[in-house]
Amino acid sequence: MAGAYIHIPFCSHICYYCDFNKVFIEGQPVDDYVDMLIREMNLVMASHPDERIETVYVGGGTPTTLTPAQLERLITGIRAALHFDAGEFTFEANPNDLLTTDKLQVLHDNGVNRLSIGVQSFNDDILKRIGRTHRAADVYQAIANARKVGFENLSIDLIFRLPQQTREDFLASLHQALDLDLPHYSTYSLILERKTIFYNLMRKGRLQLPNQDTEADMYQDAIDLMVTHGLAQYEISNFAKPGYQCQHNLLYWRNDHYFGFGAGAFGYVGRDRYHNFGPIQQYLAPLHDHKVPVIEHHLVPLEEQVEEEMFLGLRTREGVSRQRFADRYHMSVEAVYGELLDQLVDQQLLEVDDQRIRLTNKGQFLGNEVFQQFLLDDQLV
């Protein structure tokens, strides 16, 4: 059992904080890309005829920059190549691609059952400042249209620690988001990634960001408000009503396997972590010759598997399962990390019981610092 991630690298506009593999859609060979993406799925799955795909997630870029006809062609190809008949089927979307129902109708009619919509803020000035082209009014129209065609499983993303953003402003966006009464929300602190406009502005001293205390307050506000609206925090950045946790993302956090299709996509199958060519033409060229477009394979050693089991599992509120760890690696968590666990419990960063190991509330705010301590210096035998 595995998931499948499918990458659509096209955007109508490049946001100032985004470092994902993406290109302006104008002048790009979009139809050829869709055809070759389907070819890649067929080539790869021919080597895994018995693999059952449980979740499909189409991300980007912006998948909804595709035309209705291209979306239909893509989804039909996904279902045929992956033998994907049932399960969570997510598309990422931008609000300004959903101002009419034509694309939404194609998605819904072809079995897409979950939408993840990039909202980021309800403040129009901040949206301009971060390079978004939609406005708050577009969000309301997009949600109304999605519901009109029959979508129930809807999620929106919010970002905090944005340039010149105040705690009060983020609180206002939180309230507006929660007033929509959606079953799932994601909220992330801005990360300055290399090769982004914001990173370059930061290096020039021209980016004013909230300080760390304000950032922590914003995160706590999100946690508190989500809880009061019946949304449980099931991962550091994700909140859901019962039964609406994103199953595809849970697959990542449980360190399970997934196929990656599309330009720049990563996959993890067995011990093989592989990476596709990123530039569009370099991705397409081998597929025109009926060859898979993988640029690199990495056979994940035991130590790295164990580290990732801890990093990823600790991101979730359910934490790391002792039994699952023992079944996978034929050793106990204590055999690898016994002394470290004691230290982190003493520092009130971890809580440990007979079944699971979890971050405390304090540990959630210091997640990256905690995760780094699970890096292994020695080889496991």
Query: What are the tens digits of pLDDT across the range 149-175?
Result: 999 999 999 999 999 899 999 999 999
Mean pLDDT of the chain: 94
The C-alpha atoms of residue 173 and residue 376 are separated, in whole angstroms, by: 40
Q: Give the pLDDT of residue 175.
A: 98
Predicted local distance difference test score (pLDDT) of residue 200: 74
Phi, psi of 33 (to 5 degrees): -60, -45
Q: Quick check: 381 pLDDT over 90?
A: no
Mean pLDDT of 101-118: 98
Q: What is the mean pLDDT of residues 320-345?
A: 95
Q: What is the pLDDT of residue 204?
A: 83
Whether residue 16 has pLDDT greater than 70: no
pTM for this model (two decimals) = 0.95
- What are the tens digits of pLDDT across the range 58-78? 999 999 999 999 999 999 999
Backbone angles phi, psi at 198, to 5 degrees: -65, -35
Exposure b/e, 314-336, CB count within 10 A at least 16 = b: bbbeebbbbeebeeebeeebeeb
Cβ atoms < 10 Å from Cβ of 42: 14
pLDDT at 17: 62
Q: What is the pLDDT of residue 296?
A: 97
Tell me: pLDDT of 82 over 80.
Answer: yes
Cα→Cα distances 327→93, 270, 330, 332, Å: 38, 16, 6, 9
Average pLDDT over residues 80-107: 96
Q: Which of 10, 14, 378 is nearest to 195 (CA)?
A: 14
The rounded distance, in Å, linking the Cα atoms of 189 and 212 is 11
Output the six-digit token pair for 219.
């995160």
Higher model confidence: residue 249 or residue 23? 249
pLDDT surpassing 80 at residue 276: yes
Answer for the pair 283, 295: CB distance below 8 angstroms, yes or no. no
pLDDT digits (tens, 9 = 90+) for 281-290: 999 999 999 9
Rounded CA-CA distance 301/330 in Å is 15
- Per DSSP, the residues of 270-282 read TTEEEEE--SHHH
Report the C-alpha gap between 333 and 323 in whole angstroms: 9
Residue 158: per-residue pLDDT: 98
Q: How do strand 294-299 and strand 272-276 relate by DSSP bridges?
A: antiparallel
- pLDDT band for 261, please (50, 70, 90 cuts): very high
> Could you tell me the domains of the chain?
2-252 (3.20.20.70), 306-372 (1.10.10.920)
Can you give the pLDDT at residue 356? 96
pLDDT value at residue 236: 95
User: Which whole number is the average pLDDT over 86-104?
Assistant: 97
Dump pLDDT digits (tens) for 111-146: 999 999 999 999 999 999 988 899 999 999 999 999
Sign of the alpha-carbon torsion through 73, 36, 257, 61: negative
Q: State residue 20's pLDDT score.
A: 67
Is the pLDDT score of 329 beyond 80?
yes
Backbone angles phi and psi of 358, in degrees to 5:
-130, 160
Task: Output the DSSP codes for 247-275.
Answer: HHHHHHHTT--EEEESTT-EEEETTEEEE
Instruction: Say yes or no to pLDDT of 19 above 80.
Output: no
Model pLDDT for residues 187-235, shown as the tens digit of each residue: 999 877 777 667 677 778 777 889 999 999 999 999 999 999 999 999 9
pLDDT at position 312 is 96
How would you class 358 by CB atoms within 10 Å of its CB: exposed for 0-12, middle for 13-18, buried for 19 or more? middle
